[in-house]
């Protein structure tokens, strides 16, 4: 029989993770221009539906059925075949139903491809995005989820990733960089975020949901769960302060946008570490997250990569940094299921983590590039200059604000045209 307390906790954690996707939609929506708000938000929200469908059909099975020590699982649990109300989750020791594990991992899968959309805001046609979403989940996300969390190749090599430094953030960030370089720069760049209040609401939802995202990885309520919760908050808080300080020093202004972005960077970087390091280490992680990711965003600007919403600088570099810091700071005294890192006398673990991040970065970038090339051979990926100027109206026939409707005409006018 399953443990009802742990099961209730996992259902709550799953709901919190789902909330992160609307949070991301608000966060990204506030950052883009007024004429393209709905398009970027739609790209996040549609993942809630499309990802859930393919997760049920075959995604869950490819990640968590068979394939021990390999790159991908099998289809034994496609359409949840063989999973009943009494089937226990084969992972962890929390004695939860497999349905609860299925739900939690589904919510994680939903938000991961949505992260990528911030990099190519205003520039990808909706049909091309839907194709990319399905292909990227199938050929990038599912294999890495299996290799790290499904007892696959990287897990057998000793790689650790508590919440998703590799499986979520690094591979999404590297896919974002591939998309930026493949699609090219915007014709019309958004000079400033159109709504910092909307962005702040999104960040609040993301931060709130992140507690479910990071603690749910333990699959039970115990000391490690509490540790992950505390480490999540500490890293986010210190990273927000560090980024704010960097902006104040170099840009001469204590910017709200920087504070929010710094908090996000801290949450990203601590994600793979949160259940394997001490609270003191999470403070160090947060400070380094704010400084390093701030530097990565500025490097991106100097390289003139049009990563519109800094997905590579925050998620790609943040996931990379978190996995490496885990190799340095991991401490088995707080979690016997983890490992000791470099500072605790185990330099080999840092080497393992570095190798894993190299593999994930190269594969995610390369496969994402080829997916985009494949889509381009069938249908146009990029929007035209005219579509980019008023994407909500041209693609969806809808408007976020009444003033845009009066400028571009009503939906009936657009359809008639």
* pLDDT at res. 207: 98
CB-based contact 119:132 (threshold 8 Å): no
Q: Is residue 325 assigned to a domain?
A: yes
pLDDT digits (tens, 9 = 90+) for 260-309: 999 999 999 999 999 999 999 999 999 999 999 999 999 999 999 999 88
Whether 312 shows a pLDDT value over 50: the answer reads: yes
Q: Is residue 304 assigned to a domain?
A: yes
Cα distances (angstroms) measured from residue 417 to each of 185, 402, 410: 28, 20, 11
Q: How many CB atoms lie within 10 A of CB 83?
A: 18
Range of the domain at 325: 4-383
CA 201 to chain centre: 18
- pLDDT band of 413, cuts 50, 70, 90: very low
Question: What would the DSSP string read from start to end of 353-407?
Answer: HHHHHHHHHHHHHHHHHHHHHHHHTTS--BPPHHHHHTHIIIIIS--SSHHHHHH
Encoded tokens for 263: 């908090």
Average of per-residue pLDDT across 396-412: 68
The C-alpha atoms of residue 343 and residue 346 are separated, in whole angstroms, by 7
Encoded tokens for 225: 């769960």
pLDDT digits (tens, 9 = 90+) for 50-107: 999 999 999 999 999 999 999 999 999 999 999 999 999 999 888 999 999 999 999 9
- pLDDT band of 408, cuts 50, 70, 90: low
Q: Is residue 388 assigned to a domain?
A: no
Q: Is residue 396 assigned to a domain?
A: no
* pLDDT at res. 257: 95
Q: Is residue 395 assigned to a domain?
A: no
Specify which of 183-187, 190-194, 271-275, 385-389 reaches the highest per-range mean pLDDT: 271-275
Assessment of whether the complete model's pTM goes beyond 0.85: yes
Whether 39 shows a pLDDT value over 60: the answer reads: yes
Q: How many CB atoms lie within 10 A of CB 367?
A: 19
Q: Is residue 258 assigned to a domain?
A: yes
- pLDDT band of 401, cuts 50, 70, 90: confident
Average of per-residue pLDDT across 104-123: 95
- Which CATH number do you get for residue 74? 1.10.3430.10
HEC string of the chain?
A: CCCHHHHHHHHHHHHHHHHHHHHHHHHHHHHCCHHHHHHHHHHHHHHHHHHHHHHHHHHHHHHHCCCCCCCCCCCCCHHHCCCCCCCECCCCCCCCEHHHHHHHHHHHHHHHHHHHCCCCCCCECHHHHHHHHHHHHHHHHHHHHHHHHCCCHHHHCCCCCCCCHHHHHHHHHHHHHHHHHHHCCCCCCCCCCCCHHHHHHHHHHHHHHHHHHHHHHHCCCCHHHHHHHHHHHHHHHHHHHHHHHHHHHHHCCCCHHHHHHHHHHHHHHHCCCCCCCCHHHHHHHHHHHHHHHHHHHHHHHHHCCCCCCCHHHHHHHHHHHHHHHHHHHCCCCCCCCCCCCHHHCCHHHHHHHHHHHHHHHHHHHHHHHHHHHHHHCCCCCECCHHHHHCHHHHHHCCCCCHHHHHHHCCHHHHHHC
Q: Is residue 194 assigned to a domain?
A: yes
Residue 250: is it exposed, middle or buried by C-beta count within 10 angstroms (0-12/13-18/19+)?
exposed
Residue bearing the bigger pLDDT, 187 or 355: 355
Cα distances (angstroms) measured from residue 384 to each of 10, 28, 34, 129, 388: 44, 21, 18, 15, 6
Whether 21 shows a pLDDT value over 60: the answer reads: yes
pLDDT digits (tens, 9 = 90+) for 195-229: 999 999 999 999 999 999 999 999 999 999 999 99
The C-alpha atoms of residue 75 and residue 357 are separated, in whole angstroms, by 27
* pLDDT at res. 94: 81
pLDDT digits (tens, 9 = 90+) for 124-183: 999 999 999 999 999 999 999 999 999 999 999 999 999 999 999 999 999 999 999 999
CA 64 to chain centre: 20
Cα distances (angstroms) measured from residue 257 to each of 186, 192, 200, 208, 243: 21, 10, 9, 18, 10
* pLDDT at res. 416: 45
Domain count, the chain: 1
Whether 406 shows a pLDDT value over 90: the answer reads: no
Whether 24 shows a pLDDT value over 60: the answer reads: yes
Cα distances (angstroms) measured from residue 155 to each of 10, 70, 258, 356: 23, 9, 35, 10
Q: Is residue 392 assigned to a domain?
A: no
Whether 407 shows a pLDDT value over 90: the answer reads: no
Whether 5 shows a pLDDT value over 80: the answer reads: yes
Q: How many CB atoms lie within 10 A of CB 99?
A: 18
pLDDT digits (tens, 9 = 90+) for 315-365: 999 999 999 999 999 999 999 999 999 999 999 999 999 999 999 999 999
């Amino acid at each position: 029989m399953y443990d009802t307390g742990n099961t209730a906790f996992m259902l709550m954690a799953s709901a919190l993770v789902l909330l992160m996707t609307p949070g991301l939609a608000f966060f990204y929506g506030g950052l883009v221009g007024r004429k393209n708000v709905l398009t970027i938000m739609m790209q996040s929200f549609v993942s809630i539906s499309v990802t859930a469908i393919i997760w049920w059909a075959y995604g869950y099975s490819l990640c968590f059925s068979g394939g021990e020590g390999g790159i991908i699982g099998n289809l034994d649990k496609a359409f949840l075949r063989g999973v009943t109300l009494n089937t226990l989750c084969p992972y962890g020791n929390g004695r939860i139903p497999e349905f609860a594990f299925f739900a939690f991992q589904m919510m994680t899968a939903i938000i991961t491809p949505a992260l990528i959309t911030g990099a190519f805001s205003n520039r990808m046609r909706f049909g091309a995005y839907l194709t990319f979403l399905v292909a990227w989940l199938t050929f990038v996300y599912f294999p890495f989820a299996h290799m790290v969390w499904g007892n696959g190749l990287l897990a057998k090599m000793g790689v650790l990733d508590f919440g998703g430094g590799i499986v979520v953030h690094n591979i999404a960030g590297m896919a974002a960089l591939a998309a930026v370089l493949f699609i090219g720069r915007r014709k019309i760049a958004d000079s400033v975020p159109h709504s910092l209040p909307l962005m702040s609401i999104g960040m609040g939802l993301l931060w709130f949901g992140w507690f479910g995202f990071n603690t749910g990885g333990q699959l039970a309520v115990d000391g490690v769960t509490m540790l992950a919760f505390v480490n999540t908050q500490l890293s986010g808080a210190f990273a927000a302060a560090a980024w704010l300080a960097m902006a104040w020093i170099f840009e001469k202004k204590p910017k709200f946008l920087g504070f929010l972005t710094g908090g996000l960077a801290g949450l990203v970087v601590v994600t793979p570490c949160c259940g394997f390091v001490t609270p003191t280490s999470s403070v160090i992680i947060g400070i380094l997250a704010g400084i390093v990711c701030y530097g990565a965003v500025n490097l991106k600007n100097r390289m003139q990569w049009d990563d519109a919403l800094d997905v590579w600088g925050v998620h790609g570099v943040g996931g990379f940094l978190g996995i490496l810091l885990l190799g340095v700071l991991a401490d088995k005294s707080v979690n016997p299921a983890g490992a000791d890192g470099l500072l605790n006398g185990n330099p080999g673990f840092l080497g393992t983590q570095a190798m894993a991040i190299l593999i994930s970065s190269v594969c995610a970038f390369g496969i994402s590039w080829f997916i985009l090339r494949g889509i381009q051979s069938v249908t146009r990926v990029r929007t035209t200059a005219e579509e980019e100027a008023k994407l909500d109206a041209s693609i969806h026939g809808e408007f976020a604000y009444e003033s845009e409707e009066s400028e571009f005409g009503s939906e009936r006018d657009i359809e008639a045209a």
